[in-house]
Structure 1
Amino acid sequence: MSADNPATALHRIIKAVRFSGANSVANGWTNVLGSEVGTEDFALKHAEVVQLFRQVYNYLNSLPEGDEDRALYMKYTPIWYRAIVYPDSWNASTHPAEKVIDVQSLDQLGGLGRLLHRIAGESLDDDAVAKLRDSLRAWRELLDEAGLPTDIAERIRTQVDLIMWLLDNLETYGAEPVIRESRNLVGLGVEAMQAVPAKAKKIGIALASLVYVFGLLHQGVDEAAGVLEGLNQVKVQYAQLTGGSADEPATASREIESEDNDVLDAEVVEPGSELNP
């Protein structure tokens, strides 16, 4: 079962480091993240841990002054951050992994995670995970076929690989990073449609599969509406580029619009049904 909020995910990671039994902080982090400290792979994974802390901090900071939860938990944020970016020697045996945090402060982070689970958790069930993996495979097929500009294709490929990696590590980092990076992939997809309008249908089908996944989440309606709005904006911009208008698009843009009508109804299209147009 994945962590359904940043505090729970962060608690799991720091707890695993704290109780790893490692004779140094570096070895504790290496055991938990599966990468040697100082490598590019470790930097990527550790950056996601820092991002989890940022989300926890932003949530607490967004609470009104005088809020009891803010008063209770905010004072622990420097301790939680210190556990992640331990300021003393990471390699010295005089600083075993258990020194990164005291048990009481760690328990407070776990308590915040349980609170967020009750009021604001986002989760990905097995069906959503499977559909998202199908969607990412569709994006990879698109990159092989669509002839996108090299820079955009590389950014999309990197984003797809990142989401795949986060899915593979769902129990460690939780659902939120997956959802966040999937939203970013939608943005790259819309950018690709703007750059290569002739490929709008193929890109739109890949976007439609993400809309379907968002429909399985708690915030599915808002997410899907945002994607569909983005597709409509692309059609308007294409009409303007080809000499038409938003109200009376040029002939070329009408062709794109007619091709994409099925995409704009994507909320009811399950991914995989139209991946080979």
Structure 2
Amino acid sequence: MEMRIPGTSAHGLHEILVRVWESGAHNFRGGWADALGAEWGSSEFARRHAEVAGLLAETIRQVQALPDAQQNRYSRYFPQWWTAVVQPDVSWSDPGRPARVLVTQETLDHLASAADLLKGALQGTSSAPSGANLEGLRESCHSWLDILAEMPEGELPLSLQEEITAQIRHLLWLIDNAALFGAARIARESSSVVGALAQASTVLTGQDAQTSGKWKRGFLAFVTASALFATGATQVQTAIDAGSGLVKEIAQVVESGTGPAK
């Protein structure tokens, strides 16, 4: 059976809240633990719930970019969506508050409606990806972990190297949990990695020609995988192969930062 992956951050948030709501748990704590697949109070639970808060933040940001009429219609539900995620005024372990009362059907319906609207408006972007090449993106992440692990001493500041490694590991974690957090979180995190790699290219010393070549080829491969996942457009690969347009300019910037590929 093919894994179903939520398309936008709003879809991801909606499906998680529905999981809590339908869990049958006797309190919020149990409902959230069931929905997130992590033990209450564990580091993994904290990590996953923090990611849910990130889905909410992205949903709010995207709604605020809609035309005024649509923005006004959905922004009035921000407090309800936020309250559903954090429940600031009640004890999560209160047996008198079963998971079923976490959120109302009306609030869920408006969140689902906003999600569908955002998908239509943002289709083919990192906020509503159209691609399906998760394995290609995963392979590119593993290739970058190898490149970073094999970096000669002094080629890149260690702190920057460790930061990028952590970003890529987080992206792999999101890919592993795609059915929970959705495609948009993966696409936006991959865009963040692209930016980090481009920035790091400007401080790479280029003293080791082999490393410079791996860096450039790895960067272009990651840009390809990231863009294909976001846009679903096969012409991205053609553009990179042909060295045309903006892709060519990106390649030139990376090459100038890393030295000539060997």
2:226 aligned partner = 214
2:117 aligned partner = 115
1:273 aligned partner = none
Task: Quote the Cα distance in structure 2 between the aligned partners of 1:59 and 1:84.
Answer: 18
Task: Quote the Cα distance in structure 1 between the aligned partners of 2:202 and 2:11.
Answer: 38
* Contact 1:3–1:171 (8 Å) recurs in 2: yes
Task: Quote the Cα distance in structure 2 between the aligned partners of 1:157 and 1:135.
Answer: 13
**How many percent of aligned residue pairs carry the same amino acid?**
29
2:134 aligned partner = 129
Gaps of 5+ in 2: none
2:21 aligned partner = 18
* Contact 1:186–1:227 (8 Å) recurs in 2: no
TM-score, normalised relative to structure 2: 0.81
2:50 aligned partner = 47
1:161 aligned partner = 169
Higher relative contact order (CA 8 A, sep 6+): 2
Task: Quote the Cα distance in structure 2 between the aligned partners of 1:169 and 1:138.
Answer: 20
List aligned pairs for 1:186-205, cutoff 5 A: 186-198=194-206, 199-205=211-217
2:36 aligned partner = 33
Task: Quote the Cα distance in structure 2 between the aligned partners of 1:21 and 1:125.
Answer: 35
Gaps of 5+ in 1: 239-252, 260-276
Task: Quote the Cα distance in structure 2 between the aligned partners of 1:120 and 1:62.
Answer: 11
Q: How many residue pairs are counted as aligned between the two chains?
A: 238
Pairwise CA distance, 1:162: 0.6
* Contact 1:146–1:202 (8 Å) recurs in 2: no
Is 1:140–2:142 an aligned residue pair? no
TM-score, normalised relative to structure 1: 0.77
- 1:227/1:192 CA distance change after superposition, 3 Å: farther
Give the root-mean-square deviation of aligned CA atoms. 2.5
Pairwise CA distance, 1:192: 2.9
- 1:63/1:117 CA distance change after superposition, 3 Å: closer
- 1:13/1:180 CA distance change after superposition, 3 Å: same
